[in-house]
Amino acid sequence: MNKKIIIANWKLNGSIQLLQNLLKPISDFVKMNHISSKVIIAPPSVYLNQAYNIVLNTNVIIGAQNVDVNSFGAFTGEISVNMLKDINIRYVIVGHSERRLHHQENNILIAKKFEVVKHAKLIPILCIGETDKDYNLYTTQRVCQKQIDIIFDLLGETAFCNTIIAYEPIWAIGSKKIPSLNYIQDMCCFIKDYILKQQNINKKSFFIQYGGSVNENNIQQLCKIPDVDGFLIGSVSLSLNKFLKILKTISIDK
């Protein structure tokens, strides 16, 4: 798959001003330069609708950072898949490590969210990855396997059809440290083979991204990793210049 998928996770950052100063020029850039990579921007949920209207008639797609497992009712503060569908949002990040850490989301809850998103015929972007402790103990594969298995247990062998998996070593997120290119390739290849084996079909119908301290300087090297289909980008996606440099590099690299 040579068309990369780039996802910008704005996290808890954004404003109406930022939609104009960042999202608008990104969507203009993608339109004018015929960028063929899929560019998905995930702003905080209060801005989804406005963001959607800004990128209308461009190839930029708006995604959500999170969703609740419940569809409606007495769940103060939550948003549902139906609400996302109502405002034409198709992609949803599920299980980001910051949700796991700060909002006590465990593998079971994340698997349920993944299920709700898939049942609504939306596309989940599942984040998996190891802590620095796991990394130092060489248990990364086991940790990722567990994060994947729980989803197969709930959804069966077609669980990952038409989905995105973002492999993000937690210790690389926001730390300006990235693993070696070989390590990223080995992990993405491991995840791909592991899912294909459980799926019982050879056709790869999912995408694997790398996330964690991706920036305008390392993107060229990262693009060369064969089993990486795209990138999940946090802090650097908030800088217009740096993010456009990434988009340029990716489109030249194809």
Indicate whether 168 belongs to the interface with ligand PGA (CB under 6 A): yes
Between CA 114 and CA 109 the distance in angstroms is 9
Indicate whether 232 belongs to the interface with ligand PGA (CB under 6 A): yes
Q: Which of 119, 40, 126, 44 is nearest to 85 (CA)?
A: 119
Residue type, 135: Y
Candidate list 96, 98, 105, 216, residue with the active-site label: 96
- Per the CB < 8 A criterion, the answer to whether 41 and 8 are in contact is yes
> What's the full length of the chain, in residues?
254
Considering only residues 6 through 25, tell me which ones interact with ligand PGA, judged by CB under 6 A: 9
Among residues 54, 111, 143, 173, which is the contact residue for ligand PGA, using CB under 6 A? 173
- Per the CB < 8 A criterion, the answer to whether 192 and 149 are in contact is no
Task: State the nearest-atom distance from the C-beta of 213 to ligand PGA, in Å.
Answer: 4
Q: Is 102 a catalytic site residue? A: no
Q: Which residues are annotated as a binding site for substrate?
A: 9-11, 174, 213
Is the CB of 128 or the CB of 148 nearer to ligand PGA? 128
Indicate whether 233 belongs to the interface with ligand PGA (CB under 6 A): yes
Indicate whether 147 belongs to the interface with ligand PGA (CB under 6 A): no
Indicate whether 216 belongs to the interface with ligand PGA (CB under 6 A): no
Task: State the nearest-atom distance from the C-beta of 5 to ligand PGA, in Å.
Answer: 13
Between CA 122 and CA 73 the distance in angstroms is 21
Between CA 65 and CA 84 the distance in angstroms is 11
Tally the C-alpha atoms within 13 A of residue 197's C-alpha that lie toward its C-beta.
9
Considering only residues 185 through 214, tell me which ones interact with ligand PGA, judged by CB under 6 A: 211-214
Q: If you ran DSSP here, which 8-state letter would residue 88 be given?
A: T
Q: Is 115 a catalytic site residue? A: no
Candidate list 98, 105, 168, 216, residue with the active-site label: 168
Between CA 99 and CA 122 the distance in angstroms is 20
Q: What residue ranges bind ligand PGA (CB under 6 A)?
A: 9, 168, 173-174, 211-214, 232-236
Q: What residues are labeled active site?
A: 96, 168
